[in-house]
């Protein structure tokens, strides 16, 4: 029998998770307290699946869409499900309230996962009878095209919950990783934060233009990072591998680490300097067009990576 997921919240992330699970053959119940969001989610899922077909990333979009039920009532959405993925706004009190409701109404066998970007599960699951089945499963926007999922349990999350999460997200085509101990920003946003904080310093202090900094990532670091991580990268950047790399370059990195970009690069004055350097902000219409363009480029890149992985 098909497995069923309740997706709580039909915003950017909830509608994308619905696409992921429906595409993989799951029955999906998507719920939101704003009817307009459910309508917008239906349009988004239909359009995205149709476009994914052209890149070979989905097949039979009508059947996938038909597997998604749009359910206004949270209790109805979670009745009898195997999995719950919560995607409400990033407000701890809201997560606490909704997880209490999920724990009461979802079957005790269901895992309760949160998409939270930055709130550790211990801050909103501690008081629950079913806290051992709660876990953070943090995606990257948009999860139907960017497959990483960071799994991070609270100290009371059962190892079995983590094991089930690893299996389920892999089964639906994502790439789950385990964050072994709770920490602010999990892994991905800590890495992104290190890069962005330095970028804010370099542009804010006038070392480089935003456009040239973007090129440095897009046509430099990021080109390799699309298929190999930083450790795999440095392994090839010294004849003797990682140990040799550290021996050759650790003095340089130690000097950099001794003079980190200060927290003040995120203050209003520097944010304004960076904003001025970036120039006129995009209009909403331009941002919408760029989002569609980004998703098309991502689809082509994901399709390319899959093809390369298969031919290796
Ligand atoms: N946007 C991102 O880049 C991103 C990436 C990874 C994780 N996340 C996380 O995912 C979660 C959702 O983010 P988003 O960007 O989809 O937000 P969003 O604002 O696009 O969507 C939130 C949805 O929740 C609905 N909602 C609010 N209160 C509700 C309630 N009480 N009951 C039912 N529905 C309710 C809203 O109507 C809205 O549709 C957040 O925890 C966020 O940190 C976001």
* CB burial of residue 55 (10 Å; 0-12, 13-18, 19+): middle
Residues in a beta bridge with 5: 28, 83
CB 155 within 8 A of CB 169: no
Residue 156, pLDDT above cutoff 80:
yes
pTM of the model: 0.94
CA of 271 to the centre of ligand 1 (A): 25
- Report the relative pairing of strands 83-86 and 68-70 from DSSP bridges: unpaired
Percent of the chain predicted with pLDDT > 70: 100
Q: Ligand 1: which of 13, 102, 186 to mutate, most ligand atoms within 8 Å of CB? A: 13
The proportion of the chain whose per-residue pLDDT surpasses 90, expressed as a percent, equals 99
Query: For position 14, what pLDDT does the model report?
Result: 98
In the structure, which protein residues have their CB atom closer than 6 angstroms to any atom of ligand 1?
A: 9-14, 32-34, 37, 87-90, 115-117, 138-139, 141
How many of the other CB atoms lie within 10 Å of CB of 161? 21
**Mutation test residue for ligand 1: of 76, 87, 114, the one with most atoms within 8 Å of CB:** 87
Q: What is the pLDDT of residue 157?
A: 98
Question: Is 90 exceeded by the pLDDT of residue 312?
Answer: no
- The alpha carbon of 267 and the centre of ligand 1 are apart by a number of angstroms equal to 26
**What pLDDT, on a 0 to 100 scale, did the predictor assign at position 232?**
97
> Residue 22 CA to chain centroid, in angstroms?
18
pLDDT in tens, 204-231: 999 999 999 999 999 999 999 999 999 9
Question: Using one digit for the tens of pLDDT, what is the confidence trace for 54-78?
Answer: 999 999 999 999 999 999 999 999 9
Of the candidates 128, 168, 195, the one whose C-alpha atom is nearest the C-alpha of residue 20 is 168
Number of Cβ within a 10 Å radius of residue 311: 6
Centre of ligand 1 to C-alpha 32, Å, is 10
The C-alpha atoms of residue 144 and residue 295 are separated, in whole angstroms, by 10
Nearest of 143, 139, 142 to residue 152 by alpha carbon: 139
pLDDT at 4 over 80: yes
Indicate whether 260 pLDDT > 90. Answer: yes
With a cut of 80, say whether residue 161 has pLDDT above it. yes
Our mutation pick for probing the ligand 1 site, out of 20, 32, 124, counting the most ligand atoms within 8 A of Cβ, is 32
**Residue 247 pLDDT greater than 90, yes or no:** yes
CB atoms within 10 A of CB 107: 12
Which pLDDT band holds residue 97 (cuts at 50, 70, 90)?
Answer: very high
pLDDT of residue 1: 72
- Whole-number pLDDT of residue 252: 97
Q: Is the pLDDT of residue 199 over 80?
A: yes
pLDDT tens-place string over residues 110-151: 999 999 999 999 999 999 999 999 999 999 999 999 999 999
- Name the residue at shortest CA distance from atom 15 of ligand 1: 12
68 C-alpha vs ligand 1 centroid, how far in Å?
18
How far, in Å, is the centroid of ligand 1 from the Cα of 69?
18
What does pLDDT average to over the chain?
A: 97
């Amino acid at each position: 029998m098909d497995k069923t997921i309740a997706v709580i919240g039909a915003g950017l992330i909830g509608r994308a998770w619905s696409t992921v699970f429906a595409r993989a053959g799951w029955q999906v119940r998507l719920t939101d307290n704003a009817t307009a969001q459910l309508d917008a989610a239906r349009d988004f899922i239909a359009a995205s699946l149709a476009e994914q077909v052209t890149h070979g990333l989905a097949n039979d979009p009508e059947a996938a869409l038909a597997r998604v039920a749009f359910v206004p009532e949270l209790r109805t959405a979670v009745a009898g499900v195997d999995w719950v993925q919560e995607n409400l706004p990033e407000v701890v009190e809201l997560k606490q309230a909704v997880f209490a409701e999920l724990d009461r109404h979802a079957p005790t066998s269901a895992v309760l996962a949160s998409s939270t970007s930055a709130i550790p599960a211990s801050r909103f699951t501690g008081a629950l009878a079913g806290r051992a089945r709660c876990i953070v499963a943090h995606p990257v926007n948009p999860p139907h095209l960017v497959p990483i999922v960071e799994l991070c349990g609270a100290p009371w999350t059962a190892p079995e919950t983590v094991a089930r999460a690893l299996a389920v997200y892999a089964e639906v085509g994502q790439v789950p990783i385990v964050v072994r101990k709770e920490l602010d920003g999990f892994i991905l946003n800590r890495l992104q934060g290190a890069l962005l904080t330095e970028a804010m310093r370099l542009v804010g202090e006038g070392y480089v233009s935003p456009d040239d900094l973007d090129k440095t990532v897009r046509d430099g670091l990021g080109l390799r990072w699309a298929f190999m991580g930083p450790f795999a990268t440095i392994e090839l950047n010294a004849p003797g591998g990682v140990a040799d790399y550290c021996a050759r370059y650790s003095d340089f990195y130690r000097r950099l680490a001794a003079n980190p970009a200060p927290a003040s690069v995120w203050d209003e004055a520097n944010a304004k300097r960076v904003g001025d350097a970036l120039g006129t902000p995009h209009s909403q219409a331009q941002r919408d067009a760029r989002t569609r363009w980004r998703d098309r480029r991502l689809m082509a890149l994901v399709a390319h990576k899959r093809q390369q992985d298969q031919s290796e």
